[in-house]
Amino acid sequence: MSTLQEKLKNLPAAPGVYFHKNQAGEIIYIGKAAVLKNRVRQYFQKNQKDAKTTALVAEITDIDWIVVDTEMDALFLESEMIKRYQPKWNILLRDDKTVSYVRIDLKSPVPHVSITRTPMDDQATYIGPFYSKVAVQKALRILRKVFPFYDRPFKEQKTLYTDLGLTPGLEIGATTVAEYKKDLRQLIRYLKGDRQKLMRDLEAAMEKAAQSENYELATKLRNQLFSLKALKQKIVFSDQEFLDLSNDQALRQLQNLLRLSEPPRRIEGYDISHHAGEHTVASMVVFSNGVADRSEYRKFRIRSSTNDDIASLREVLTRRFKHRDWTYPDLIILDGSTGQLSAVRDLVAPLQIPIIGRDKSGSHSHGGPVKITFLLDRQYQTLALPDNHHVARLVARIDEEAHRFAVTYHSLLKRQSMLK
């Protein structure tokens, strides 16, 4: 009996995310399932399938999966994994009409939560893409009980949703717009995957409210916390650690490229953001096993007043390594080239942490080759990787996430200074 047949026989009757792989061990399709054994086995039944699905099945030689608690967890995990791996068959089989994003405009006087197919450049927050509108709608219905919201433009009149506790209650004076927007920010954090830190923050806020004898707020936070704990994602890897990291194309190729003893499990990405030297900040993003781990993200305000990105980068890494309680990375990715790498080389050398610089000079951040620089045998090596290369995809994603996180923090500080 083949390995594939054995795995099909042992699929669990639980919700989760599954991964179809080809003979080279490359992930070629990712999907979600309410019941893994039923959904995955459907691919191999002899019933009529369309031509594209038939071609996909012909390539499948192995499968892996992650078991989660709920379909909602599977929905969020599927979205994150597809963004991470970008499997070719998810692109070939995708109908753009089925791709959905959750839209929340916090700058609106009274925001509402909606689902859209096309993100706009309108400064609203978009979370996604998700590949099943029905599943997104179901997830939002569940989360609405934790973080009540409006699903259409606000009207100052009581509705059935008010009585059911599914709106924040502005129409009956039960809360304020400021409190409502605070809850929406928590909803956004949850949808984006920042769940562990969100629950720690809620627990701290609950204790603070109880100590100040604000029992109404403490009760609300307690209820939110209990509800979120009930939804908390619990990942169980299949036979070995998920996907067996040796079969992860990007991590395996990074291991070979940098001559590491094992694939880099924790990768940290850094970027600097400022405007003419003002409100200079740095970001640290963390990818665990190739997936964004937002609960580990950190941001820094640069203390030196210099308009020098390289000096700022050195400062932030110096401060980062003073935190011995933070797990050290297996690899660091920086925005820059030999100048940035040389500036911090002496900081990471004693820790034997390799560094890769992504050089975007003379090119756009999207499209075209991804140029990386790294130190090997005490010499700087530079490679221009095609943008569909596994390492290029991962390095670009980490670098762009670090840039996004830094720019967001810089913009926040800039807005705050303008209000003073």
Amino acid at 108: S
Q: How far apart are CA 353 and CA 192, in angstroms?
A: 29
Point out which residues pair with 16 in neighbouring strands.
Answer: 33, 67
CA angle 34, 233, 218 (to 5 degrees): 125
> Tokens 């390095």 label which residue?
395
Residue 278 DSSP code:
E
Alpha carbons 367 and 206: distance in angstroms, whole number: 46
**CA-CA distance, 72 to 74, in Å (whole number)?**
5
Topology annotation, domain 245-419: Nucleotidyltransferase; domain 5 (3.30.420)
Question: What pLDDT sits at residue 243?
Answer: 40
Measure the CA–CA gap between 42 and 57, rounded to whole angstroms.
Answer: 10
Which amino acid is it at 258? L
Buried b (16+ CB within 10 A) or exposed e, 206-217: beebeeeeeeee
Handedness of CA 312, 314, 316, 318 (dihedral sign): negative
CA-wise closest residue to 99 among 120, 121, 81, 115: 115
The 10s digit of each residue's pLDDT in 389-408 is: 888 888 998 999 999 999 98
User: What distance in Å separates the CA atoms of residue 354 and residue 411, rounded to the nearest whole number?
Assistant: 31
For residue 349, how many other CB atoms are within 10 A of its CB? Answer: 11
Distances (CA, A) of 359 to 282, 290, 334, 392, 407: 18, 21, 9, 12, 18
Report the chain's terminal Cα–Cα distance, integer Å. 71
Question: Using an 8 Å Cβ cutoff, are 314 and 347 in contact?
Answer: yes
Q: Which residues are CB-contacts of 218 (< 8 A; sequence separation ≥ 6)?
A: 206, 209, 210
Q: What is the mean pLDDT of each run of 10 residues along the chain (420 residues)?
A: 81 91 89 89 77 85 87 80 82 64 93 90 84 80 89 91 92 93 90 76 89 88 79 38 51 91 91 82 88 84 81 93 90 92 91 92 63 89 87 90 90 78
Q: Would you state the pLDDT for residue 167?
A: 94
Token output for 232: 């908390």
**55-71, pLDDT tens digit by residue?**
889 999 999 998 887 77
Same fold, 3-88 and 245-419: no
Q: What is the pLDDT of residue 272?
A: 92
User: Rounded distance, CA 10 to CA 342, Å?
Assistant: 51
Would you kindly state where each structural domain of the chain is located, as residue ranges? 3-88, 98-193, 245-419
Fold type of domain 3-88 = GIY-YIG endonuclease (3.40.1440)
